[in-house]
Amino acid sequence: MAAVGLASLLFAETGQVTTGCYNCMKCSSGCPVSFAADLKTHEVIRLVNLNRLDKLLKSKTIWLCAFCKTCKQRCPNDIDASVVMDWLKSKALADGIAPALPNIPVMYQSFLQSVEKLGRVYEAGWIGTYKIKTKTFTQDIKLGLKMIKRRKIKLLPGRIRNYQEIRKIFACARKNDNIRKGL
Partner 1 sequence: MPVLVRMTISGRGCDGVKYSYYPGCSLCSTASEYNLSSEAICARLGIELQEIPDWNCCGATSAHSASAYLSVALPLRNLILAESMGLDMVVPCAACYHWQRVAHREVVEGTPVGRKANEELTEVMGRGYKGTLQIKHIMEVILQQQVLDLLPEKVVTPLAGLKLAAYYGCLMLRPAEVVAFDDPEQPQSIDNLAKALGAETVRWSAKVDCCGGSFTLAESGVVGKLTADIVSAARRGGAAAIVTACPLCQANLDTRQKENEVQMPVFYITELVGVALGMPEARRWFRKHIVDPVPLLEELGLL
Tell me how far apart the alpha carbons of residues 80 and 65 are, in angstroms, rounded to a whole number: 12
Tell me how far apart the alpha carbons of residues 181 and 109 are, in angstroms, rounded to a whole number: 10
Query: Mapping DSSP to helix (H, G, I), strand (E, B) and coil, where does residue 85 land?
Result: helix
Q: Is the dihedral of CA 152, 153, 156, 157 positive or negative?
A: positive
Q: Is the dihedral of CA 178, 50, 54, 76 positive or negative?
A: negative
68 near partner 1, judged by CB under 8 A: yes
Spell out, one character per residue from 40 to 59, where the chain touches partner 1: x when CB under 8 A holds, - when not: --------------------
CA angle 96, 102, 105 (to 5 degrees): 80
| Cα end-to-end span (Å), the chain | 24
Question: Which residue from 8, 23, 77, 139 is in contact with partner 1, where contact means CB under 8 A?
Answer: 139
**50 vs 60 by CB, closer to partner 1:** 60
69 near partner 1, judged by CB under 8 A: yes
Spell out, one character per residue from 95 to 134, where the chain touches partner 1: x when CB under 8 A holds, - when not: ------x-xxxxxxx-xx--x---xxx-x---x--x---x
Q: Which residues of this chain interact with partner 1, rule CB under 8 A? A: 14, 32-33, 35-36, 64, 66-70, 72-73, 80, 86, 89-90, 101, 103-109, 111-112, 115, 119-121, 123, 127, 130, 134, 139-140, 143, 146-147, 150-154, 160-162, 165-166, 168-170, 172-173, 176-180, 183
